[in-house]
C-alpha cells in the first residue's frame, strides 16, 4: 500500500520550530519512530492527526493551512476510526468522569467488555478497585493511567474490528506507550496490540525512546519482521527534520557486544543500610533473592539498582544525597557518617558538588533552560571550569561536533534532548565525584547518544568512580553490570496514606 506521506511546516510567529518534507508512515504496518526527545516526534504526529491547537501555532500540512487540513477527509477518518494515546496520560483524562465512565464514553461504548483487556494489562485484578475513581494528578498513578489509556485504544480496536472497520487506513498512534511502564507491562500491552494487528492489519505508529523494543520484537515476534517499519527522526545541520529508516540490526549487534564494565569488587565508598524508612515505606535491598544488610557502592564499580516502577529507586538516590530524611538511616559516604539527625547543611558542606553527584532523570528540569551552556558550569564555582577553553575541553569528548564559543553562549533551551542529557551528566561529574548516581540516564536520548553514554560510563569507572545506576533499561544495563552488583530494591508499606508520595515524586 502507498505510504501516508506528509510535509509539515510549523512555526510560532516568525520562528520556525519544525520543518519536514518526508514524514512517511507505512499503511497496514507497525511503524516504530525513534528520535531524541524534543526533536518534534510528538508535535508532527499530533499535527497530522489533527490534535494541535491552531491558535497557538502556525501550521501547514501538505501545503494546506491547518484549518483547511483539519477539514480533509483524511483527518476526519483519523479522528473517527483512529486513536491517539498521548505521552502524558493525565492530560487525556476528564477529571469529572470516573475511569469506568471514560472507558465507556462515546464511541468506546459498546457491548464489548474491557475486563479481559484490563486483566491482561495488569496481570491481576487490581484494576477493579480503580474503576470508580475520578482521575487526579496523583491517583491512579502515572503507570495505571497509562494502562487505562492503552485499554481505551485496545477497546476501540475491538469495536472497530466488530464493525469490520479496522482497516489499513485506520491509524492508531501511541506516544511513548511504555513511558511509565515496566518492561513486563510494556510487553503485556505489545502482546495485546499485536494479537489484534494479526487479525486485522491496520496502521500503528509507536513513538518511543525505548530501543529495547527492538530485541523484544526480534525474539518474540520474528514473524512480523516484514510488517514492521523502523523509522528515526533526525535533524540536519540546517535544522530541517528528516525521517530516515532505522536499522534495528545495528542496535541488536551493538547490544550483543555489551559486556560488564568496571570492577566486580572495589573499595566501598558508600554504604546505606537496609531498613531505612522514608515516606511510609521501609526500604531494603536484595542481591538476587538474598536479603543484604546494606547497599554498598564501590569505587570503579557499576551498581545497578532494580525495582518495579514506583517502589522507590529515586528515593534511595535522594536518601544517599541527603535530599530526603530517612528514619533509621545509617549512611557512610566518602568517609563521612550520616544518620537521621543530620541536616542538609551537613550534606552541602561535605558532599554536594564535592564527593558525590547525581544526574537527575529529566535534563529539562535539572538544567536552567535560560542559562547559557557556559553559565551551567560557571555557576558551580569550580576553579577548573572557569574559562571558555576549560569548559570546551571538558565537554568536547561527549559531543560529536566540534564545539566552539558560540555553543557555550547558546541557551540550554535551544539544545536537543540528547545534548541536554549529556550536559546534565557532565555537570554532575564536573566536580569529579567519588560517587555518581545516574537516574534513568538513557531517558529521551537517541541511539548515538546511548552509545556515547556507555563510553563515558566506562571512562568514569576506569577513573575509580563508584556509580549507582537506576534504569528500567534492563536489556542494556543487565549486560553492562556484573550480576553481583545488580541489587533489587524492596519496599514494605508502613503507612498506606503516604504510599502515594514516593510514587508521585518518582513520576
Partner 1 sequence: MTPNLKMKIPSLSNDTKWILIWLAGISVLLVWDLVFLNKPALVRVWLGFGNTLLVSAISLTTALLLSFTVSSWITLSRWNERPKLARTGELFLNIFRSVPQIIGLLTGFLILTLLVTAEIMTGKTAILTGFGVTVGVVIFYEFSDMLLERVAWFEQTDFVSASRTAGVPDTHLLFIEIWMRNSLPHLINKLISGFGATIFLLCSIDFVLSVGLSSSVSPINFPPTLGSMLAQIDSKQDILSIGILFTDPFYFPSLFTRHLQGLSVAFLIVFTLACSFKIGNAFTRRHRL
Minimum distance, C-beta of residue 427 to partner 1, in the bound complex (Å): 5
Residue-wise DSSP of 447-474: HHHHHHHHHHHHHHHHTT-EEEEE-S-H
Cβ proximity to partner 1: between 150 and 321 the closer is 321
End-to-end C-alpha distance for the chain, whole angstroms? 40
The kind and range of the H/E element at 468 are strand 466-470
| Residue numbers at the binding site for partner 1 (CB under 8 A) | 318, 321, 323, 343-345, 348, 352-354, 356-358, 360-362, 365-368, 370-371, 379-382, 424, 427-428, 430-431
Cβ proximity to partner 1: between 176 and 439 the closer is 439
Gap between the Cα atoms of 53 and 57, Å rounded: 7
Minimum distance, C-beta of residue 365 to partner 1, in the bound complex (Å): 4
Q: What are phi and psi of 230, to 5 degrees?
A: -100, 125
Gap between the Cα atoms of 83 and 106, Å rounded: 13
Cβ proximity to partner 1: between 368 and 396 the closer is 368
The answer to whether 211 and 251 are in contact (CB under 8 A) is yes
Minimum distance, C-beta of residue 384 to partner 1, in the bound complex (Å): 12
The kind and range of the H/E element at 364 are helix 363-366
Minimum distance, C-beta of residue 443 to partner 1, in the bound complex (Å): 12
Nearest residue to 59 (alpha-carbon basis) of 83, 37, 43: 43
Cβ proximity to partner 1: between 167 and 354 the closer is 354
- Burial of residue 417 (CB within 10 Å: 0-12, 13-18, 19+) is buried
Would you state the cell numbers that stand for residue 316, as one nine-digit string? 534511595
- Burial of residue 505 (CB within 10 Å: 0-12, 13-18, 19+) is middle
Minimum distance, C-beta of residue 354 to partner 1, in the bound complex (Å): 7
Minimum distance, C-beta of residue 377 to partner 1, in the bound complex (Å): 10
3-state secondary structure of 340: coil
Gap between the Cα atoms of 485 and 464, Å rounded: 15
Q: Give just the sign of the alpha carbon dihedral 92, 98, 103, 104.
A: negative
Cβ proximity to partner 1: between 329 and 430 the closer is 430
3-state secondary structure of 473: coil
Cβ proximity to partner 1: between 13 and 95 the closer is 13
Minimum distance, C-beta of residue 439 to partner 1, in the bound complex (Å): 9
Cβ proximity to partner 1: between 381 and 496 the closer is 381
Minimum distance, C-beta of residue 382 to partner 1, in the bound complex (Å): 7
Minimum distance, C-beta of residue 366 to partner 1, in the bound complex (Å): 4
Cβ proximity to partner 1: between 112 and 380 the closer is 380
- Cα angle 433-438-444, degrees, rounded to a multiple of 5: 135
The kind and range of the H/E element at 61 are strand 58-61
Cβ proximity to partner 1: between 13 and 184 the closer is 13
The answer to whether 491 and 279 are in contact (CB under 8 A) is no
Amino acid at each position: 500500500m502507498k505510504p501516508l506521506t506528509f510535509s509539515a511546516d510549523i512555526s510560532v510567529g516568525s520562528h520556525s520550530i519544525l520543518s519536514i518534507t518526508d514524514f512517511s508512515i507505512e499503511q497496514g504496518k507497525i511503524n516504530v519512530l525513534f528520535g531524541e526527545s524534543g526533536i518534534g516526534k510528538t508535535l508532527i504526529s499530533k499535527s497530522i492527526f489533527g490534535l494541535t491547537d491552531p491558535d497557538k501555532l502556525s501550521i501547514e500540512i501538505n501545503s494546506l493551512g491547518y484549518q483547511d487540513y483539519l477539514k480533509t477527509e483524511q483527518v476526519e477518518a483519523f479522528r473517527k476510526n483512529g486513536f491517539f494515546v498521548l505521552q502524558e496520560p493525565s492530560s487525556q483524562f476528564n477529571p469529572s468522569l470516573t475511569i469506568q465512565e471514560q472507558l465507556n464514553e462515546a464511541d468506546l461504548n459498546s457491548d464489548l467488555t474491557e475486563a479481559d483487556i484490563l486483566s491482561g494489562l495488569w496481570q491481576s485484578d487490581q484494576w477493579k478497585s480503580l474503576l470508580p475513581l475520578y482521575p487526579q494528578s496523583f491517583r491512579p498513578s502515572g503507570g495505571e493511567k497509562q494502562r487505562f489509556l492503552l485499554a481505551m485504544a485496545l477497546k476501540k480496536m475491538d469495536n472497530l474490528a466488530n464493525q469490520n472497520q479496522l482497516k489499513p487506513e485506520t491509524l492508531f498512534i501511541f506516544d511513548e506507550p511504555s513511558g511509565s511502564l515496566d518492561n513486563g507491562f510494556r510487553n503485556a500491552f505489545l502482546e495485546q496490540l499485536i494479537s489484534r494487528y494479526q487479525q486485522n492489519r491496520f496502521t500503528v505508529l509507536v513513538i518511543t525512546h525505548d530501543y529495547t523494543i527492538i530485541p523484544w520484537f526480534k525474539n518474540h515476534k520474528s514473524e512480523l519482521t516484514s510488517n514492521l517499519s523502523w523509522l528515526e527522526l533526525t535533524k540536519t545541520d540546517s535544522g530541517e527534520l528528516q525521517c530516515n529508516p532505522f536499522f534495528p540490526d545495528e542496535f541488536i549487534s551493538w547490544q550483543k557486544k555489551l559486556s560488564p564494565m568496571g570492577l566486580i569488587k572495589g573499595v566501598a565508598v558508600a554504604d546505606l543500610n537496609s531498613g531505612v524508612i522514608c515516606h511510609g515505606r521501609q526500604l531494603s535491598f536484595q542481591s538476587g533473592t538474598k536479603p543484604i544488610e546494606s547497599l554498598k557502592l564501590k569505587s570503579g564499580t557499576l551498581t545497578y539498582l532494580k525495582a518495579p516502577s514506583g517502589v522507590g529507586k529515586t528515593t534511595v538516590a535522594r536518601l544517599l544525597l541527603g535530599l530526603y530524611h530517612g528514619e533509621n538511616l545509617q549512611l557512610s559516604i566518602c568517609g563521612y557518617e550520616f544518620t537521621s539527625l543530620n541536616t542538609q547543611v551537613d550534606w552541602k558542606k561535605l558532599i554536594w558538588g564535592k564527593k558525590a553527584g547525581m544526574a537527575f532523570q529529566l535534563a529539562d528540569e535539572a538544567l536552567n533552560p535560560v542559562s547559557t551552556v557556559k553559565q551551567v558550569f560557571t555557576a558551580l564555582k569550580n576553579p577548573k571550569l572557569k574559562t571558555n577553553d576549560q569548559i570546551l575541553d571538558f565537554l568536547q569528548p561527549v559531543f560529536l561536533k566540534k564545539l566552539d564559543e558560540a555553543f557555550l553562549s547558546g541557551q540550554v533551551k535551544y539544545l536537543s534532548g540528547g545534548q541536554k542529557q549529556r550536559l546534565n551528566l557532565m555537570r554532575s561529574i564536573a566536580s569529579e565525584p567519588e560517587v555518581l548516581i545516574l537516574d534513568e540516564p538513557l531517558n529521551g536520548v537517541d541511539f548515538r547518544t546511548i552509545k556515547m553514554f556507555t563510553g563515558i560510563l566506562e571512562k568514569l569507572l576506569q577513573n575509580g568512580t563508584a556509580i549507582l545506576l537506576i534504569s528500567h533499561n534492563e536489556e542494556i544495563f543487565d549486560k553492562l553490570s556484573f550480576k553481583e552488583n545488580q541489587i533489587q530494591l524492596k519496599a514494605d508499606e508502613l503507612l498506606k496514606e503516604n504510599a502515594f508520595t514516593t510514587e508521585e515524586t518518582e513520576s
